[in-house]
Amino acid sequence: MTKRRLISKAARTALVLLVVLLAASIFSFSCTLAPSPPARPGDWGDSGKPPAGKQPELKAFFIDVGQGDSCLIIARTGDDREFTLLVDAGPGGAADEVVDFLKEVGVRKIDHLVFTHPHEDHIGGGKALLEAFEVGKVYMPRTTHTTEAYEELLLAIRSKGLTVTEARAGKVILEAKEFKAEFLGPAKSYEDLNDRSAVICVTFGERVLLFMGDAEAQAEDDMLQAGLIPDADVLKVGHHGSSSSTTGEFIRVSRPSIAVISVGPNPYGHPSKTVLDRLERAGVRVYRTDLHGTVEIVIRGDRLDVSTR
């Protein structure tokens, strides 16, 4: 073994140790699957209460971050409360775009920030977001991962004085009148980081939106077997449209009318023709951030409108 390889091995060991210690210091994981406590008033956004009588509204933005994921939800619920939920931060290369986009649509505080899993295309923009915005709560699935991007994220979370709440099936993020955001996954523990993705179900009145992270067929199957997958209106397709996700059975049960694929130029062949064909055969309207740019869905009363920008 050369001296250089010895040094890089030592550096790698140091990184592993540092990340493990960091994670231990900021993850506030509970060991049991006890029911989640109800949302407290402090969990809500304090960015100003809208005038009474304003119509409930949910906006979901599937931000064009190139190859990666970042979805912003801004909701005004039936009991006149407002909050923001951000699912993933996109890759580091798109960090400035995500920060600018959030500012452009008026976000001042990210009330709930979920990192579905520790791959760079989902967490790379996290540090910049944590530096640019006040953040309420941070959620991640329980994982061990030892990349520099993950270390940087954990350091940024710690330097904000925040801890991490475990994302796992059954945990409720927020519940309000005609609104609920909860985790459907991970339903089990997996070796594979994609399958360990936090999967989120947002219910708004009669409408249901599913955010799959990079969950693949095994995780989908486990959620189906557990009866966790509801009829959905909107599906943020798992793993950028990879053929390893979005099985025929998953589409048959979730029955989305709209699917959004967050994807950019990539060497992996995302989105796969198999998945696109499957969605088409099921009559699902597909939007892709690489073709349409940022996709915006607005739900008000019975209306659900899709636009692109």
Interacting residues toward Zn ion by CB under 5 A: 121, 214
Instruction: Give me the least distance between CB of 262 and Zn ion, in Å please.
Output: 8
Instruction: Give me the least distance between CB of 97 and Zn ion, in Å please.
Output: 17
Residue 222 CB: number of other CB atoms within 10 A? 18
- Nearest CA among 104, 100, 69 for reference residue 86: 69
Instruction: Give me the least distance between CB of 34 and Zn ion, in Å please.
Output: 30
Using DSSP, state whether 58 is helix, strand or coil.
strand
8-state DSSP, 124: T
Instruction: Give me the least distance between CB of 239 and Zn ion, in Å please.
Output: 6
Instruction: Give me the least distance between CB of 90 and Zn ion, in Å please.
Output: 10
Which residue's CB is nearer to Zn ion, number 269 or number 283?
269
* H or E stretch covering 84: strand 82-87
**DSSP secondary structure, 245-276, as one string:** SS-HHHHHHH--SEEEE---S-TT-PSPHHHH
What's the count of helices (H) and strands (E) in the chain, helices before strands?
9, 15
Dihedral sign, Cα of residue 117, residue 47, residue 262, residue 231: positive
Residue 271 CA, distance from chain mean position: 18
Using DSSP, state whether 176 is helix, strand or coil.
strand
Which residue's CB is nearer to Zn ion, number 70 or number 203?
70
Which residue's CB is nearer to Zn ion, number 94 or number 174?
94
Instruction: Give me the least distance between CB of 66 and Zn ion, in Å please.
Output: 11
Which residue's CB is nearer to Zn ion, number 64 or number 121?
121
**DSSP secondary structure, 230-245, as one string:** PP-SEEE-GGGG-TTS
* List of long-range contacts for 300-305, beta carbons under 8 Å, 24+ apart: 300/55, 300/56, 300/57, 301/55, 301/56, 301/205, 302/206, 304/207, 304/233, 304/234, 304/258
Which residue's CB is nearer to Zn ion, number 270 or number 278?
270
Which residue's CB is nearer to Zn ion, number 121 or number 182?
121
Which residue's CB is nearer to Zn ion, number 63 or number 75?
63
Instruction: Give me the least distance between CB of 117 and Zn ion, in Å please.
Output: 8
Distance CA 309, CA 290 (A): 12
